[in-house]
């Protein structure tokens, strides 16, 4: 079993950048495909970005494509989400998640295919 802890959230202005980090403990992160999800106020949780076990393939939601970048360092057991050109619509609680599912692409998009979740970190973007 792996434990995940997110950090790096905060209050920023539109156009700013923020980098979220997810630290894993308990098991080596290379065993898992990783993803980031977010839950805006009053809405359901939604997919943001995913990265394969090796880090060679990634996938993004259309709403963040070109602005967000997911990366991982398996030697440090961390997964990061670099968020640039932030918009008020990006305001949400952000969660990292780990999946034992194996897909042809290497990354995992479906929320139900993720086994482990962090507690989340709040990102608020003011206009």
Residue 1 pLDDT > 90:
no
Residue 95 pLDDT > 90:
yes
Question: Per-residue confidence at 26, pLDDT binned at 50, 70, 90?
Answer: confident
Q: Are 70 and 21 in contact (CB under 8 A)?
A: no
- What average pLDDT does range 96-113 have in this prediction? 96
The CA–CA distances, whole Å, from 114 to 36, 50, 100 equal 10, 11, 7
């Amino acid at each position: 079993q792996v434990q995940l802890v997110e950090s790096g959230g905060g209050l920023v202005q539109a156009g700013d950048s923020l980098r979220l980090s997810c630290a894993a403990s308990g098991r080596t992160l290379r065993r898992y495909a990783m993803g980031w999800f977010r839950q805006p106020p009053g809405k359901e949780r939604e997919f943001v970005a995913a990265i394969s076990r090796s880090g060679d393939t990634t996938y993004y939601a259309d709403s963040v494509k070109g602005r967000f970048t997911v990366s991982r360092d398996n030697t440090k057991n961390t997964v990061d989400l670099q968020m640039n050109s932030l918009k008020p619509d990006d305001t949400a609680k952000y969660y990292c998640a780990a999946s034992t599912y194996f897909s042809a692409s290497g990354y995992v998009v479906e929320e139900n295919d993720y086994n482990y979740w962090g507690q989340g970190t709040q990102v608020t973007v003011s206009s």
